[in-house]
Amino acid sequence: MSIADDVPNMTVYFISLSTNKDFEPDQYRDAAGKLANLLTLTLADKNVLKQVTHDANITAAKSEIEIALQENDGKRELVAEAVLDMQTEGKQKVKFDKAKFSKLLKSRPEYDHFPDMRIFKRAIPPEQVKGSPHLIDLDNFLADTTTD
């Protein structure tokens, strides 16, 4: 049984911000803090959620964010990943406008530190949400990822 069975009005998105830049250990804390602020302050803003979901009637939202240096194509880069859960009234599925989200991220001063950032988002199918809004089957999910 998945969380979607218990909460049929939940839509879940995976969001990733890849800086396309490695940071030395003495720079990592500052850069990770700026990246965390960029994503946290953007996702925590009710007006941003209203804009990127085209005024969906969201009754509750929760995000979990992780910042890490990751290996990508033989080089390291600073990456922020988030799982965003949104509940609505009724059976409405929430659409997430990546273009609008990107524009809102770029308008924040923290974005200036990451000019080569790549932004990725993908809806997590309900059958891949297990037990908790943040426990997803990442092996199956990431095996079939494409940017959209």
The predicted-structure confidence for 108-128, as pLDDT tens digits, reads as follows 999 999 999 999 999 988 677
- Give yes or no for residue 133 having a pLDDT over 50: no
| 75-88 β-sheet, strand order | 58-72, 75-88, 10-18, 118-123
Whether this prediction's pTM lies above 0.85 is answered by: no
Full set of structural domains in the chain with CATH: 3-143 (3.30.70)
Contact assessment for residue 57 and residue 22, using Cβ atoms and an 8 Å cutoff: no
Tell me the average pLDDT of the chain: 82
